[in-house]
Amino acid sequence: MDDGRYRLTLTTTAGRTVIDGRWSNRATAERKFRSWIGSYSAIPSARIALAVQAADATWTELKAWPDGEA
What is the model's pTM? 0.86
pLDDT of the residue at 44: 86
Residue 52 has pLDDT above 70, yes or no: yes
3-state secondary structure of 6: strand
- 15: Cα separation from own chain's centroid: 14
Q: What is the mean pLDDT of residues 8-17?
A: 90
DSSP 12: -
Q: What is the mean pLDDT of residues 16-33?
A: 96
Q: For all residues of the chain together, what is the average pLDDT?
A: 91
